[in-house]
Amino acid sequence: MNHEIFERDRQDILIIDCIPDNLQILSSFLTEKGYKVRQACNWSMVLTACQTVLPDLILLDIMLPEVDGYEICQRLKNWNLTADIPVIFLSSLDNVFDKVKAFQVGGVDYITKPFHFEEVLVRVENQLALKVARLKILQLNLDLEKKVKERTCQLEKALYKLQQEWNQRQQLQSKLLEIALHDSLTGLPNRVLFLKRLEQALKRIKLKPDYHFAVLFLDCDRFKLVNDSFGHLVGDELLVAIARRLEASLSPFDTLARFGGDEFTILLENIKDIRMATAVAENILQKLSLPFRLSRHEVFINASIGINWGNPNYEKPEYLLRDADIAMYRAKKAFGKARYHVFDPKMHQEVTELLELENDLRKAVERQEFVVYYQPIISLATGTIAGFEALVRWRHPVRGLVAPTSFISIAEETGLITPINTWVLKSACQILYILQNHPAIKDSVTMSVNISPRLFSQPDLIATIDEVIDDTKINPASLELEITESVLMENDENIKTILHELQKRKIKLVMDDFGTGYSSLSYLHSLPLNSLKIDKSFVKYMQKNKQIMGLVPAMIGIAHSMGMSVSAEGVETQQQLMQLKSLNCDFAQGYLFSPAVQQELVLDLLAEGTRW
């Protein structure tokens, strides 16, 4: 790059001409104008001059001996060093062709001899100014290029940084995704990921009929007990240990997920038939039955497993799981704990019906669709009605009168039993009040009301009963509450307290369905019970089965020895009645005497005064 041109104060002009006069005159004129002027009259002098110092401009005559002006110009243009030096032709040739040729060989201007000095000066100045401008542009270009390079470099760096940030973000994102799809405690896939995998399996089975899979829904039995007795930390430790055992029971192709709480789900893929799935379930149950040695405790846990065989008719993975869950509940209920059960579409129907029933039951409570029927209880000593048992029925808008056996257990599960039972108690007490105050009824009549086990966990049971007594103004001495063995067997201090509170109010307590539970006699003795009611199953088989035949008198004997009276329910035949009488049973109830009747008929039954 030719920087000198900006630094040199005097610009250097080389005049090439072979006529000394011309040279002299032009030279002195330009020198006078402030230029440094050198002269040459042939090619070899031009070479020497250029090699010494490169001129800023060349004034070149055409008519030269040996090498003419055109040729010199061409040589200068072909030579790297001199190619950029502007050449102005000076010639007496005024022909257009000469001028054209001069421009063709690289000349930038053409001055015709004889010339005017002023013209020469202007053209020289122009070309020099042009050259400076060109160099400046070149310099600017170079600067620009440099700047572009620097900027490119900066941009590349920024881009690199951006790329790195993006990579980090990408890593973070996949980490977040990983967290979102896994359970933090066990590290297993969670519900979301499991459902995704299940959805894929469902899609695959729709495309490939020879592909099979099964879903297992596992729920730990009584896990709450572990949490309650050892604390949540131990519970967590146990869950992790269970997860590891489950993993060890599966192949790497299966998906094991923690579905939530103590529930785990498994997707078994590439299996041939249901037996492979049940074999896995058996293996799991066997592995889980071994004790878990945790850091501070040894814990035993069982699980129930529901199995559902994947089939392409399912629309959503959730439905597949729902049915595995239904099967799991069946495993829990029907077979006791630590079992598996395979889903059968019939179960779905049952569950739907149950759900409908539950819904209807909710509405029934709101709309008060219940009625109480009353079944007489006969004193075997007098043969007359000693009291009534209040038995609830549901007046279903479509199904008609529904027996309590069809809805009491659901009412208990859903908690709806509390309002229902309280209402029954109140209704029965209203009838009792009428009986207690009726002028035609001389002997006192009792009223028995069944009390659900659920009510005993209600903190305000006693308050509710007090309120009913207050509201209906009955004499509580004629009120009998029937309690099943299961309540009493809880062996809870709280229940004992409640029973004693009831006793204080002179309310009688009857153990219902006696013989169907597992009462310990010594425990029974410690409770303030007034009466035992022998379950109808014993009455039914009393005459047919010798073993049972032996039990009934034993039950009556036990009750009497503990100072309790005995009643028998389900008495349907005269024979049964005779037998119970001969065994000194105190009371009896059954279709032989009367089924449960509507409240309007209670007074009629009493008025009839039948003696059995």
Q: Which is nearer to ligand C2E, 24 or 574 (CB)?
A: 574
Quick one: 263 or 412, whose CB is closer to ligand C2E? 412
Q: Which of 424, 499, 502, 606 binds ligand C2E (CB under 6 A)?
A: 424
421 counts as binding ligand C2E under rule CB under 6 A:
yes
Would you count residue 512 as binding Mg ion (CB under 5 A)? yes
B/e letters for 314-332, b = 16+ CB within 10 Å, e = fewer, are: beebeebbbbbbbbbbbbb
Q: Tell me: does residue 450 bind Mg ion (CB under 5 A).
A: yes
**Pick 141 or 574: Cβ nearer ligand C2E:** 574
| 515 is a site residue for ligand C2E (CB under 6 A) | no
- Name the segment binding ligand C2E (CB under 6 A); options: 212-220, 277-285, 552-560, 590-598: 590-598
Q: Are 317 and 323 in contact (CB under 8 A)?
A: no
Q: What does the chain come to in residues?
A: 612
Tell me the closest approach of the beta carbon of residue 455 to ligand C2E, in angstroms.
8
Residue 40's binding partner among ligand C2E, Mg ion, none (Cβ under 5 to 8 angstroms by kind) is none
Distance (Å, whole) CA 185 – CA 105: 88
Question: Are 606 and 441 contacting, i.e. CB atoms less than 8 angstroms apart?
Answer: yes
Q: How far apart are CA 506 and CA 528, in angstroms?
A: 11
For residue 185, what is the DSSP state? T
Q: For residues 397 and 356, what is the distance between their CA atoms, to the nearest angstrom?
A: 13
Under the binding rule (CB under 6 A), the answer on residue 392 touching ligand C2E is: yes
Q: How far is the CB of 379 from ligand C2E (least distance, A)?
A: 16
Residue 513 engages Mg ion in binding (rule: CB under 5 A):
yes
Q: Does the footprint of ligand C2E cover residue 570 (CB under 6 A)? A: yes
Looking at beta carbons only, is 262 or 513 nearer to Mg ion? 513
Closer to ligand C2E by CB, 347 or 462: give it. 462
Helix 117-180 / helix 20-32 crossing angle, nearest 10 deg: 60
**Partner touching 392 among ligand C2E, Mg ion, none, CB below 5 to 8 Å by kind:** ligand C2E
404 touches which of Mg ion, ligand C2E, none (CB within 5 to 8 A by kind)? ligand C2E
In eight-state DSSP terms, residue 398 is: T
User: Helix or strand or coil: residue 594?
Assistant: coil
Q: Is the dihedral of CA 335, 340, 343, 344 positive or negative?
A: negative
Piece of the chain touching ligand C2E by CB under 6 A; list 31-39, 52-60, 172-180, 400-408: 400-408
Q: How many other CB atoms are found less than 10 A from the CB of residue 211? A: 15
| Three-class SS state of 205 | helix
For residue 53, state whether it binds ligand C2E (rule: CB under 6 A): no
Backbone torsions φ then ψ of 399, nearest 5 degrees:
-85, -10
The rounded distance, in Å, linking the Cα atoms of 194 and 187 is: 13
Picking from 16, 81, 19, the residue whose alpha carbon sits closest to that of residue 52 is 81
The reply on whether position 405 binds ligand C2E by CB under 6 A is: yes
Q: What is the rounded CA–CA span in Å between residue 211 and residue 201? A: 9
Task: Please select the residue that binds ligand C2E; options are 342, 432, 588, 596, rule is CB under 6 A.
Answer: 596
Q: Residue 590 binds which one of Mg ion, ligand C2E, none, with CB within 5 to 8 A depending on kind?
A: ligand C2E
Q: Give min distance, CB of 357 to ligand C2E, in A.
A: 15
CA separation, residue 212 to residues 42, 126, 203, 273, 446 (Å): 101, 92, 11, 8, 64
**Minimum distance of ligand C2E from residue 458's CB (angstroms):** 12
Query: Interface residues for ligand C2E in 447-476 (CB under 6 A)?
Result: 450-452
Please give the residue ranges that form the binding site for Mg ion (CB under 5 A). Answer: 450, 482, 512-513
Please give the residue ranges that form the binding site for ligand C2E (CB under 6 A). Answer: 375, 391-392, 403-405, 408, 421, 424, 450-452, 482, 512-513, 536, 569-572, 589-591, 596
